[in-house]
Amino acid sequence: MKKTYISWELLNGAIFKIVSQMQMGGYKPDHVVGVANGGIPGARCISDIIKCPMSDIHWSFIDADVQDLDKLDKYIFMIAEGKKLLFVDDIVDSGKTLKSLKEALGIPGFTPMTTKPHPLVHFAALYYNYAQQDASVDYIGNLINRDTYHDWLVFPWEDDYIEPKEVELEQDVTVIYNKKSS
């Protein structure tokens, strides 16, 4: 499968698009939640820009063992207290993970494909596949269409993006990471 390596510059652009969309819509979360693993770097950047706390949740549709129910309960409690939460993921590809997370949050009248934003809980994706029909998001960094674009997206924090190279500095050895060639 062909791979596309996403640069930090592209990601910064996606992050600022999301923050801009939030500001234009008047939404300021009390807490940002990164959907692990890929959503954590974007969530961290967004939380730093808007100056609010950030945490994570390990959640996977494919692997039920990767569903952090303790943290889910924490976020459900925060919503019940009236806190605004922004969930961030790196990519909504099939939409199944996000759909599963939205269903697990159990917000009445809140369906995975709802187009009207919930007053408290919003979702953002750095990359969003608009060809899928399982889950919508409130904020999008970049759009992709998986019906026509099939490259595997490799993000800078993924193992496939970097390859270690040993460089000797005097008597110490350190590891410097460079982007792999495609």
Question: Tell me: the pLDDT tens digits for 45-54?
Answer: 999 999 999 9
Measured distance CA(70)–CA(65) in Å, rounded:
13
Residue 175 has pLDDT above 50, yes or no: no
Residue 112 has pLDDT above 90, yes or no: no
pLDDT, mean over the chain: 85
Q: What is the DSSP string of the chain?
A: --EEEPPHHHHHHHHHHHHHHHHHHT---SEEEEEETTHHHHHHHHHHHHT--EEEEEB-SS-GGGB-HHHHHHHHHHHHTT--EEEEEEEESSSHHHHHHHHHHT-TT--TT--SPPSSEEEEEEEEETT--S---SEEEEEE-TTT--PEEE-TTSGGGEEEEEEEETTEEEEEEEEPP-
Measured distance CA(27)–CA(19) in Å, rounded:
9
Using the structure block, give the residue that is written with the tokens 């692990």: 36
127 phi/psi in degrees, rounded to 5: -130, 130
Percent of the chain topping pLDDT 90? 54
Q: Would you state the pLDDT for residue 88? A: 97
**Average pLDDT rounded to a whole number, residues 27-50:** 96
pLDDT band at 172 (very low <50, low <70, confident <90, very high): very low
Residue 61 has pLDDT above 90, yes or no: no
Residue 69 has pLDDT above 80, yes or no: yes
Tell me the two tokens of residue 81: 């207290």
Domain boundaries in the chain?
3-179
Measured distance CA(176)–CA(167) in Å, rounded:
7
pLDDT band at 173 (very low <50, low <70, confident <90, very high): very low
Which of the residue ranges 60-64, 136-140, 177-181 has the most confident prediction, judged by mean pLDDT? 136-140
Q: Are 109 and 115 in contact (CB under 8 A)?
A: no
- Which class does domain 3-179 fall in? alpha beta
Q: Would you state the pLDDT for residue 57? A: 94
Q: Would you state the pLDDT for residue 96? A: 87
Q: Would you state the pLDDT for residue 174? A: 45
pLDDT for 120-130, tens place per residue? 999 999 999 98
pLDDT for 70-111, tens place per residue? 899 999 999 999 999 999 999 999 888 888 888 888 865 566
Q: Which residues contact 118 (CB under 8 A, 6 or more apart)?
A: 107, 110
Q: The pTM is what?
A: 0.84
